[in-house]
Amino acid sequence: MEPPKLRQHTPRRQRGFAIGNWLSHLSCYRRCLEAAPRPDACLVMEDDAGLAPGFLQALPCVLRRLDDAVGRGWHALRVGCWGSRFAEDCIRSPNLFFAQSHPFNASAEALAPGGGMAYGGAHLTLVRPATTLAELIGRLLLMGVMAIDVGLTNPPRHQRASQASAQPLRSYVLDHPGAYIDHRLDGLESSHA
């Protein structure tokens, strides 16, 4: 049985991939929480992601800039997203955005600027085991299986106002050239089957 949110946000032909991706992220997040000693941040990469030279060395600076802009209580930072960007979501110009839904992305198949969704996908996701990861895992479990980029996107402002009792998800998107799709990895699994 497919959860309603998965049917709403994910085309039929992609639902199996979405379920696998959601489960993979959840598994990685749980392993980050169980690590001893617990790291300050964990990096979860998609299987086709590549990192530009020097990106890992720049990561402490990226984290400091994010902490300076929004504080340490963030849930997720996604790097290498596709889709639209909105000026009102910009936290730090030119490339740090508060990742929130916008009216046109009720469906991943919607026609809209940037391919139907704002802040979609991610080549990599940074999470904070020491501060907010347990809360993020709990939220994902409560929401149920869905495309992970939808689960890691803040609801639109009007929905957040009606959910005033719950703390908002603090999820951000960073446009940074350090993460990309590595097309050399396309078909790697099938060639090793």
- Phi/psi region, residue 71 (left: phi>0; alpha: psi -120 to 50; beta: rest), is left
* pLDDT of 156: 67
* pLDDT of 35: 92
Tell me the CA distances in angstroms from 185 to 13, 34, 98, 107, 130, one per residue in order. 22, 29, 30, 28, 32
CB 75 within 8 A of CB 135: yes
pLDDT in tens, 161-177: 555 446 678 999 998 88
Tell me the CA distances in angstroms from 51 to 43, 59, 124, 156, 165, one per residue in order. 11, 11, 9, 31, 39
- State pTM to two decimals: 0.82
Enter the tokens of residue 134.
Answer: 């347990």
Q: 10: Cβ–Cβ under 8 A, 6 or more apart, which residues?
A: 18, 108, 146, 147, 150
| pLDDT by 10s per residue, the chain, length 193 | 467 767 776 788 888 888 888 999 999 999 999 999 988 899 999 888 888 889 999 999 989 999 999 998 899 999 988 888 888 899 988 889 999 887 654 444 444 444 456 788 888 999 998 888 999 999 899 888 888 888 888 876 656 555 544 667 899 999 888 877 776 655 444 333 3
CB 9 within 8 A of CB 147: yes
- Cα–Cα distance measured from residue 147 to residue 5, given in angstroms and rounded to the nearest whole number: 9
**H or E element that contains 77:** strand 76-79
pLDDT in tens, 40-71: 899 999 888 888 889 999 999 989 999 999 99
